[in-house]
Amino acid sequence: MMHPAHASALEGLNFARPPVAVAFASSAPEGLPRIARSAAAGCAYWQHASDGHAFYTTADDHSNCPVGAYTHGVDLAPALASELEGRVGTMIQLQYLTAGEVPQIPRRPGPLRFVAYAPLGEAAFPPDVVIFRGNARQIMLLTEAARAAGAFAEGTLMGRPACAAIPQALAASRGVASIGCIGNRVYTQLGDDELYLVLPGRALVETLEQLGTITAANSELERFHRLRAEAANV
């Protein structure tokens, strides 16, 4: 559970949905139920957790989305590998991807066994990553807090596929911002004005410790800039 001061700092951002804690495990997490039904895409589990559910998935539960299975380190069965190849081929034909981009897509070192999900404030497990979902202002403040904590990958803004932000954050041990992708926006109902910050769990405490200071500083600077803008328009 989060320290009360950290929880208060997060509450001050007024997220429409709670951040989601995610952890990878070699055995089924104790005290958590398995997801009742496999989702169409792994990122749909982000949505389900942000709805207030705590649960775990298996590698099989990620097999409906070959791209997400790839980024998460699922050992791809021949049929799934063929489907992934077909989808990537379609994306290349649509000029959504180029062939040169495919080998550069981040992938979590496998094999994936079990994945635990829960709203951050209710997570009974230490998260490997925390997925924050918010508008541009909210993610701006979180990103600045992560930067102040030395936990943000400078110059990193990820896009397709959104799920690749997880292995990227794990590999870099730094938070990464992601504008998502069209599949993610469909499966998670991500708003047109929303984006993500994916933060390694090990950087969570340091980032939240900076968040109150960063939020207060932005409030003061906003007042300063608004007064300055008003004076310039007189």
pLDDT higher than threshold 80 for residue 56: yes
Span 102-125, pLDDT tens digits = 667 889 987 899 999 999 999 999
Quick one: pLDDT at residue 211?
93
Quick one: pLDDT at residue 140?
94
Span 188-203, pLDDT tens digits = 999 999 999 999 999 9
Amino acid letter for position 204 = L
Give the span between the Cα atoms of 52 and 67, in whole angstroms: 26
Among the listed ranges 41-50, 55-64, 94-103, 174-183, which one has the minimum average pLDDT value? 94-103
Quote the pTM value.
0.89
Sheet strands side by side (includes 152-158): 55-58, 114-119, 20-25, 129-135, 194-200, 175-178, 152-158
pLDDT, mean over the chain: 88
Amino acid letter for position 194 = E
Per-residue pLDDT band at 177 (split at 50, 70, 90):
very high
Instruction: Give the count of domains, the chain.
Output: 1
pLDDT higher than threshold 70 for residue 96: no
Could you tell me what percent of the chain has a pLDDT over 90? 60
Residue ranges making up the domain that contains 139: 4-232
pLDDT higher than threshold 60 for residue 147: yes
